[in-house]
Amino acid sequence: EVQLMQSGSEVKKPGESLRISCKGSGFSFTNYWITWVRQMPGKGLEWMGRIDPTDSETNYSPSFQGHVTISTDKSITTAYLQWSSLRASDTAMYYCARPVGPGTDALDVWGQGTMVSVSS
């Protein structure tokens, strides 16, 4: 079964660091970009960025560039989303997703989401 399995929910304080993960299985991990999407409480979807596990090439939305880091360890078919200093405004659900195929960003496989709560 093709799936993306995300790490569990997190409760953090402002200024703390965090890395959440997204493990792919059932498909050739290096054949698909992995995209990260944010959904703040009660709000719409925001495209954060994506990574090519083959060579770790990344594309970031300017809205997130410099505040998050997307990385991957293809040896364990896992992608990561990382913060060095969290803010209260990072409180959101974060999804990883995989496209239908190369040359498209139609996201047909999604992780279950990781809820990140940041509060003092």
Partner 1 sequence: DIQMTQSPSSLSASVGDRVTITCQASQDINNYLNWYQQKPGKAPKLLIYDASNLETGVPSRFSGSGSGTDFTFTISSLQPEDIATYHCQQYDTLPHTFGQGTKLEIK
Which of 61, 69, 91, 117 forms a contact with partner 1 (CB under 8 A)?
61
Contact flag: residue 46 with partner 1 (CB under 8 A) = yes
Say how far apart CA 69 and CA 62 lie, in whole Å.
Answer: 12
Stretch that binds partner 1, among 8-16, 19-27, 70-78, 105-113 (CB under 8 A): 105-113
Which of 55, 84, 105, 119 forms a contact with partner 1 (CB under 8 A)?
105
Binding site for partner 1 (CB under 8 A): 35, 37, 43-47, 49, 59-63, 95, 97, 100, 104-108, 110-113
